[in-house]
Amino acid sequence: MLWRFTERFGQRDLTSISQEEVLEFLMNLRMALILAFVSAFSLMPTYLLAQTSRPNILFILTDNLGYGEVGVYGGGVTRGAPTPRIDSLAREGMRFLNFNMETQCTPSRSSLMTGRWAIRSGTHSVPFGGVADGLTQWEVTIGEALSEVGYATGYYGKWHLRNHDGRLPNDQGFDEWFGIPRTTDESLWPSSPGWSADIMPAEEMMEGRKGEKSRPLGVYDVTQRRLIDAEITRRAVSFIGKQAQSDKPFFAYVALTQPHLPSEPNPTFKGRTGNGDWADMLTEMDANVGQMLDAVDRAGIRENTIVIFTSDNGPEFIRPWDGWVGPWRGQYLTALEGGIRVPFMIRWPGKIAAGRESNEIVHGVDMFATLAQFGVAKVPTDRPFDSIDQSDFFLGKTEKSAREGFPIWCAERLMAVKWRNWKLHFYRQDNMFDPPVMNPVPTIYNLYTDPLEKKPTPDSWVVGPSLKIVNEFEQSVKQHPLILMGTPDPYRPGTPQ
């Protein structure tokens, strides 16, 4: 500014400069500065321009929560404990009646992370007995996609996609993480008769940061099982508060461990309802979700934060921790609706209409493409990508989902195909311990007239569009072979496994 003033008036006596000349000079300088700013802003990279409007994302994933457990899906008080904080997401956002996941924990978490059917990436089954497992480093996660465009990323809770360095959350796109690398039933091991760490080492809680090795924090036993969701919530709340003060949007992926067996509440909630451990656990879960929602409000970022609440698959089958599927039949590890249809609510004030609900089909695999669209991030183009962008549907620009159906695997077995309101079953299996039995001919169920999937319908024309889904998948496998379970790093397409 001094340079400009000197250039204009430097050769004149200051007493000879009129007030009108000074005002004109200042107005011209103001316009020049505005034009310079606009010019610089227009030359800024697109991803930097978008960053100021990118939403924060709080993704809350529960473990084995059945369709009928929380209040707005028919549970809550009918299960012994109201869930007002979770239910508020339906009132303030959108509730889905036909949101689907894969049939078990590891595959559902894999498809959420990669936007690909888990059978493609060698994560089609829960790994038992210490077998090789996990996502290869070749896979691109939603954490990596959002991190690449400037998001701060945090993962808190159950991972279940490998328990060794190289395949933990901090190796797969997350700036920091805390939780368990495998699953919660292993917390029973240390107190089981005959167990020995020499035979099967106990699972440990872990934490890590990007670029560093994760470190163990102690054995995950029943005592820690009761405490862990409180710690997951505490760390998530801290991350939200810290990142809200930064100049970066955040992606907080919070994988609570409840109500996976053993479904035991935190000691501070024990006996709270008077209706048993299950109701106390449900009250604890609702309170933990409430803490995270309060953290968003306290940070003043409610309007620019997407909040999602869902489950990884259907409920427990093993008593006394068995859950409830509402109007459906079946549990996890089956292709019945109770195994795959889960609660799902999303809130984004001013963007997603409050109180809206839909029975249109959406699958968890669609979260990658949809969240990437909201975050202005890229999706992989060098591999089969099963995720469908549902952003227009979520935002109310259309009342129709972009998905009409999907294949249903249990492990490596194609169990069924869901298309619109029909299910085509290739196998019959009523619960996780029943052996799957191949049907002589595929059986067809109309989910509108037979939600329990007990009365086959003669609508054989449905076989055509259902098999089209199968054929499209099989054609993609011919060009891009499946990654086998236990494939080591480094993996590259076309290399021997």
Per-residue pLDDT tens digits for 285-295: 999 999 999 99
Nearest-angstrom CA–CA distance, 4 and 7: 5
- Does residue 126 sit in the same domain as residue 238? yes
The residues that bridge with 177 in the sheet, in sequence order, are: 155, 208
Q: Once rounded to an integer, what is the mean pLDDT over residues 69-88?
A: 98
Residues 414, 378, single domain; the answer is no
Domain count, the chain: 2
- Of the pLDDT bands very low, low, confident and very high (cuts 50, 70, 90), residue 127 is confident
pLDDT confidence band for 47 (50 / 70 / 90): very low
Report yes or no: 332 and 276 within 8 Å, Cβ to Cβ: no
Does residue 116 sit in the same domain as residue 176? yes
What would the mean pLDDT of 414-422 be, rounded to a whole number?
98
Question: Does the pLDDT of residue 38 top 50, yes or no?
Answer: no
Tokens of 420: 């619109």
**pLDDT tier, 311 (very low <50, low <70, confident <90, very high otherwise):** very high
In a domain, 93, yes or no: yes
pLDDT at 322: 92
- What does the angle CA 226 – CA 231 – CA 233 come to, to the nearest 5 degrees? 110
pLDDT mean over 76-92: 98
pLDDT band for position 50 (cuts 50, 70, 90): very low
Q: Could you tell me if residue 44 is inside a domain?
A: no
Answer yes or no: is 237 within a domain.
yes
Q: Do the domain assignments include residue 219?
A: yes
Residue 474: give its domain's CATH number: 3.30.1120.10
State the CATH number of the domain containing residue 364: 3.40.720.10
User: Which band of pLDDT confidence, cut at 50, 70 and 90, is reported for residue 48?
Assistant: very low
Residue range of the domain that includes 79: 55-403
Residue pair 84/285 in contact (Cβ under 8 Å)? The answer is no
Q: Which of 85-89, 133-137, 153-157, 332-336 has the lowest mean pLDDT?
A: 133-137
Q: Where a domain ends, among 355, 380, 403?
A: 403
Backbone angles phi, psi at 468, to 5 degrees: -60, -40
Q: Which of 368, 386, 403 is the last residue of a domain?
A: 403
3-state secondary structure 37-80: HHHHHHHCCHHHHHHCCCCEEEEEEECCCCCCCCHHHCCHHHHC
Q: What is the mean pLDDT of residues 322-345?
A: 96
Q: How many whole angstroms separate alpha carbon 401 and alpha carbon 394?
A: 9
Say how many residues make up the chain: 497
In a shared domain, residues 372 and 472: no
Q: Please check whether residues 339 and 417 belong to one and the same domain.
A: no
User: What confidence score (pLDDT) does residue 133 get?
Assistant: 82
Q: What is the mean pLDDT of the chain?
A: 92
pLDDT at 205: 98
Same-domain pairing of 419 and 378? no
Instruction: Choose the final residue of a domain: 403, 430, 453.
Output: 403
Non-local (6+) Cβ contacts of 157 within 8 A are: 61, 178, 179, 180, 229, 232, 253, 254, 255, 256, 257
- Does 336 lie in the same domain as 432? no
Residue 496: inside a domain:
no
346-395 pLDDT, tens digit each: 999 999 999 999 999 999 999 999 999 999 999 999 999 999 999 999 99
Q: Determine what percent of the chain is predicted with pLDDT higher than 90.
A: 85
Q: What phi, psi does 306 have (nearest 5°)?
A: -85, 125
pLDDT of residue 431: 93
pLDDT at 12: 57
Instruction: Please state the φ and ψ torsions of residue 6, each to the nearest 5 degrees.
Output: -65, -40
- What pLDDT is stored for residue 39 in this prediction? 52
| CA 348/CA 346 separation, integer angstroms | 7
**pLDDT at 51 (0 to 100):** 44
Is the pLDDT reported for residue 22 higher than 60?
A: no
Q: For residues 420 and 360, state if they share a domain.
A: no
Instruction: Please state, in angstroms and rounded to a whole number, the distance separating the CA atoms of residues 105 and 278.
Output: 20
pTM for this structure? Answer: 0.89
- Listed in sequence order, the residues at least 6 apart from 101 whose beta carbon sits closer than 8 Å to its beta carbon are 108, 111, 310, 311, 312, 313, 340, 342, 363, 364
Same domain, 412 and 337: no
Residue 65 lies in a domain: yes
Q: Are residues 180 and 240 both part of a single domain? A: yes
Q: Is 300 left (phi over 0), alpha (psi -120 to 50) or beta?
A: left
Looking at the DSSP bridge assignments, the partners of residue 418 are 406, 423
- Is residue 47 in a domain? no
pLDDT of residue 31: 58
Residue 9 confidence (pLDDT) above 70: no
Find out whether the peptide bond into 490 is cis, omega within 30 degrees of 0.
yes
Residues 199 and 314 placed together within one structural domain of the fold: yes
Residue 9: inside a domain: no
The two structure tokens encoding residue 356: 């809206």
List of residues 6+ apart from 421 with CB closer than 8 A? 446, 447, 448
Report whether pLDDT(100) > 70.
yes
Over residues 119-134, the mean pLDDT reads 83
331 and 465 within one domain? no
| Spatial separation of the C-alpha atoms in residues 239 and 224, rounded to whole Å | 22
Strands 422-428 and 413-419: antiparallel
pLDDT tens digits for range 429-439:
999 999 999 99
The pLDDT, as a whole number, for residue 2 is 46
Stretch 90-110: mean pLDDT: 97
431, 317 in Cβ contact below 8 A? Answer: yes
**Which residues fall within 8 angstroms of residue 119, CB to CB, at 6 or more apart?**
107, 409, 412, 482
Q: What is the pLDDT of residue 417?
A: 98
